Amino acid sequence: MAKLLVKLQRYFRRKPVRFFTLLALYLAAGSLVFLHSGFTGEPTVTGSQRGPGAGKGPGLTYLGVMQLSRGFKAAVTMPEGGRRHGPWFKSTSKEPAERGKAGDYGSTRSRVLRGRSGREKEEDRARYVGCYVDNTRRRTLRGVSFFDYKKMTVFRCQDNCAERGYLYAGLEFGAECYCGHKVQASNASESECNMECKGERSNICGGVNRLSIYRLELAQESARRYGSAIFRGCFRRPDNVSIALPVSQLMLNMSVDKCVDFCTEKEYPLSALAGITCRCGFPTTLFTLHEREDEQLCAQKCAGEEFESCGTAEYLLVYQTQVQDNRCMDRRFLPTRAKQLVALASFPGAGNTWARHLIELATGFYTGSYYFDGSLYNKGFKGERDHWRSGRTICIKTHESGQKEIESFDSAILLIRNPYKALMAEFNRKYGGHIGFAAHAHWKGKEWPEFVANYAPWWATHTLDWLRYGKKVLVVHFEDLKRDLFVQLQRMVGLLGIAACEDRLLCVEGQKDGNFKRSGLRKLEYDPYTPEMRKMISSYIKTVDTALKLRNLSGVPDDYYPR
């Protein structure tokens, strides 16, 4: 063997070109194998993304910011002739792609039965309605949509639709999720919904132009909607109404639907109903939407729909349309290298990614990270790939504690969250990903007690270390940021040395959710904290509370229980 190796070595010394040729072929072959393993079994759908000006038909309308799925891939529009499968697409049912040809109906039936058994497990949060026809020109469910050609599951679709207040969730083509308030199509045969979910092979996610539709029994009432519009509340008419809401239309047959459609067509994010007048505009300093009135003041019946309220001339009923407010969507790297490094410090699970999203929208500059997370980079956090000392980003995410790491920064925004919520959020991220959930087996097994024992002390020491070693620390409580986003974001932007534009901050309020928000249907049906855990965490809360007050800060919020 040694002699053979020596001969090969001598040969390639004499023929270096052949050596590098063989090496290149070897690397190319490895790359092809890797790519094949990543694409095998995945459909490719041709077409381009639909933008504001794409398409004239009544198909899937441009959804703006609402079409950004938490962890889902970019939406695509199907060609008019239906879907076209790539040459490597392998139908798991071994059926021809076209419906008119005969297929393996035994295989189809077995998958439908498996999907039905999976649906029975979902009954507590959603009820299966049936298989329905869908049309790319006129969708059956006309709310927001989410696509994920790698990890789509029935629960993910239900969760995203429920979170946004929709009544129905529909899955199509194994990887597409559609939401809506009405099912506007005819039934199809159950055998036509025969495509397995890309992220859950045991369940069915519709078929080619076929939707598996669920009615969401636990849709969140907090996200009040009318169709695809978000209800913002009842507000007093602004003084300069023609400037604050510059576009208006008299509608003698007024309804919420008509006014929302009118403002959507005019490309405004706000639709305000004032009796028989529909007004459109943006949230501005003239009309901030911060001072809500009693809804009874707006409870005048619509002329065109007796079961709806349409506001009055003095009190406007306001809805947010699906038109994206682009005043805060531009982002870039800093034009010149920052002289100071500002940390966005938090314990894991305290909402750091959400805070980064808000800061980027409010300032127009990318945020960086002490680490690198490819999933965050792919979702638009372009500063994720920069070295944290590059000076090109407005602030740097970090979960680090300890004197040496903290003293590397010139100032910091310290984000603190209720430890009970933060620990559960980080446990879900650790075992379920950024927007996923830990399995019940993890909560009930040894993982959860070990996690609490290791991470609960860190929650306290993280805050104490930053208060002790940080050079210039602005404390922001996650709960305060949720409750009063405008004021807290002003404080954060001020520390970053950026002049806060009020109109831009008002724009952020309308786009505040971002791509990484874990909420919806899946809630634990029991309290995972034992009395021993609570006693331990309570002592840490009191320690942090005392440390904050010693620095003349307000202490922890009241909902950090028990005190």
pLDDT category of residue 512 using cuts at 50, 70 and 90: confident
| pLDDT at 229 > cutoff 90 | no
Using the Cα atoms of residue 368, residue 373, residue 375 and residue 377 in order, give the sign of their dihedral. positive
What integer pLDDT is reported at residue 322 of this predicted model? 85
What does the pLDDT average to over 197-212?
A: 92
Q: Residue ranges of the domains in the chain? A: 126-216, 225-320, 342-560
- Residue whose structure tokens are 């060609």: 79
CB neighbour list of residue 2: distance below 8 Å, 6 or more residues apart: none
Task: Scan for tokens 């002790």, then name that residue.
Answer: 468
SS3 94: coil
Residue 117 has pLDDT above 50, yes or no: no
The strand pairing partners of 475, in sequence order, are 414
DSSP letter for 72, please: P
Instruction: Specify the higher pLDDT residue, 122 or 417.
Output: 417
Residue showing tokens 């094949």: 36
DSSP single-letter state for residue 392: -
pLDDT averaged over every residue in the chain: 79
Q: Which residue has the tokens 């500002």?
A: 342
Q: Note the pLDDT of residue 48.
A: 35
Q: HSE-up of 411 (CA within 13 Å, CB side)? A: 16
| Whether residue 72 has pLDDT greater than 70 | no
**pLDDT surpasses 70 at 415:** yes
DSSP code of 551?
A: T
pLDDT at position 517: 59
30 pLDDT more than 50 = yes
pLDDT score, position 348:
93
Amino acid at 446: K
Q: What is the CATH code for 342-560?
A: 3.40.50.300
Q: In this structure, what token pair is assigned to residue 185?
A: 């199509």
Label residue 98 by pLDDT band (50, 70, 90).
very low
Mean pLDDT, residues 190-215 = 92
| Interval 431-440: pLDDT, tens | 887 667 888 8
Residues 479-499 have a mean pLDDT of 92
- pLDDT tens for residues 523-540? 666 789 999 999 999 999
Per-residue pLDDT band at 515 (split at 50, 70, 90): low
For tokens 């009820």, the residue is 127
Q: What is the pLDDT of residue 501?
A: 86
Answer whether residue 522 shows pLDDT above 50. yes
- How would you class 480 by CB atoms within 10 Å of its CB: exposed for 0-12, middle for 13-18, buried for 19 or more? middle
pLDDT at 78 over 80: no
Cα(451)–Cα(446) distance, integer angstroms: 9
The total of other beta-carbon atoms located within 10 Å of residue 102's CB is: 7
**Identity of residue 378:** N
User: How confident is the model at residue 124, as a pLDDT?
Assistant: 53
Q: Is the pLDDT of residue 4 over 80?
A: no
pLDDT of 31 reads: 66
Q: What does pTM read for this prediction?
A: 0.60
CB-CB contact of 415 with 353 (8 Å): no
pLDDT value at position 94? 33
Give the mean pLDDT of 6-23. Answer: 72
pLDDT above 60 for 227: yes
* pLDDT at residue 188 is higher than 90: yes
For 277, the 3-state DSSP assignment is strand
Q: Average pLDDT for residues 334-359, to the nearest whole number?
A: 94
Structural tokens at position 162: 């429920």
Summarised one tens digit per residue, pLDDT across range 296-310 is 899 888 988 877 889
Pick the range with the lowest mean pLDDT from 119-128, 189-198, 321-330, 382-391. 119-128
Largest CA distance in the chain: 96
